[in-house]
Structure 1
Amino acid sequence: MFWVLLLLLSWGVAGAACTRLRLAAVRAAAVDTGDAIAGRGHDLTLYEAAFLSGGPGRVADLTMVSMARQRRLLLAHTGWATVVDPRGRDEMERSVIGAIGPGGQSRIAPARAAAAAADAVRGLADRLVSAGLAVPDGARTTVAAGVRQVRLAAVFVLAVGAVALLMPTGGTDMPRGLVALWFALPLALTMSCLAIARVEVHPYARWASPAGQRLLGALARRADGTGGAGGTADDRSYLTSVAVLGIRAVGEPDLRAAFAHREQ
């Protein structure tokens, strides 16, 4: 009865995958519990909002847009960046200026990549992780990897079950319907684990933890409420939109054209 060995193998694969997903879900739940108090009383800076929304690249984009709006950095529609004012006002701006190079001119794509990988951005990421607002690198992938493994286990059980049903019974009296029922049990285990994970495991963004997502939502609402106040409030609202939404929030056609080259 070779199908019994296949059944045991199916149970082993399904059980291992579901156990891994369950452990990942438990760790995620522990993070969520700590997140309940994370970020209270914390007002996000624009750089922090940019990182939580789009990661290191978004921080570089925001810095370049901010400097361009102040006429301290020229971003040409051809995809070139030229430093107008070499004195950076904070560590992010100094990172961008350093990434452009001593000549004061560079293609936007390599300058953006270098600025995104700078120590200033890594330090920002570390601070956000320590505050419980950003997701550590490992935590971003653990639950997702567990879900993928359970899905693969479900496919494996289906495939092995089909092989078992196609095999000759070897003279046994075991009905094929009963064999299919036995293989349906580990399949039901995998499907139930996926259903529970979909309901109970807190969805993480690519960069922001649940607490970080809540602060991002509050920041966006405040920006909407002050968008028409004029002057500094308008500029802050504009940059907040760029931090949260990315380059698609940029209204100037030439500036949008400049950033169309940023991945080249």
Structure 2
Amino acid sequence: MCYDIALHSDIALTKQAFPKIIDKRISQSTVLQQHTQSFSFASLPVVIQKDGELSLVDMQWFVDPSYLTDPKQRVKQRISMANAQSERVLRDKRSYWYTLRTNRCLIPLSGTYEHREIAGWKNKVPYYIWMKDRGIQHIPSLYQLLETVGTNGEIITQGSFTMLTRTANQTMKGIHNSGEHRHRMPLFLTPELEDFWVSPHFSEDDMKAVFEYELPSGLLDFSPVYSIRGKAVRPDGKATFEPWHYENLPPLGTDTPLQSQMSLF
């Protein structure tokens, strides 16, 4: 699954991609992030389609399971709701995702992060993955709007979202090769399909077709990076998403370390 992303691109690129979008964020400037982790319940700019109108709003990453009444259980369950398997949205009508299926949105991203396991290595190798030849990409997601009553009796609307995932393509299988949710990736789309995802004319039949779309591996670029979640300061002072060289790192599809030194860059 995907719990680590980056948005270091100018959000103006999203406004260019969707010329009719209305920016409804309280602050229309975006703090660019080299790395955002879902477990922080981060607030991010999101493109939503509601009542035939496209809006850019801020929402928290992690759908809030409002169906739970126990506060502790609600927080615990929310941690598992950063991602939703696209295969379940229409297939499992008892799932919470089915109830949100018409609440379609897009998450503007520069790229995503994932870890790769190498046989015999103590630590997994972190990777940064991005769409080739694109300044920004938009990952299809589902959003939720909850109304709560504030301390002064005012109605407060809180938005949250979950990122949709699917079975990984060949490139992502080589990177996301271990763990409980191995061989998964975000539901990467082309610009045309991203635009279609937030169209008011989008149907459930269209949704099924989009869920079956697998982005060709050749449209993704990737490189190992120094660290994603670690606290160690990167020695060269470069950004989190910048490439980092690992000695004896094998090519994707081979998870046994190389015996001779090789340079990746």
Task: Say yes or no: TM over 0.5.
Answer: no
More strand by share: 2
**Which structure's relative contact order is higher, taking Cα pairs within 8 Å and 6+ residues apart?**
1
TM interval, short-chain normalised: under 0.3
Structure with greater helix percent: 1
TM-score, structure 2 as length reference: 0.22
TM-score by length of 1: 0.22
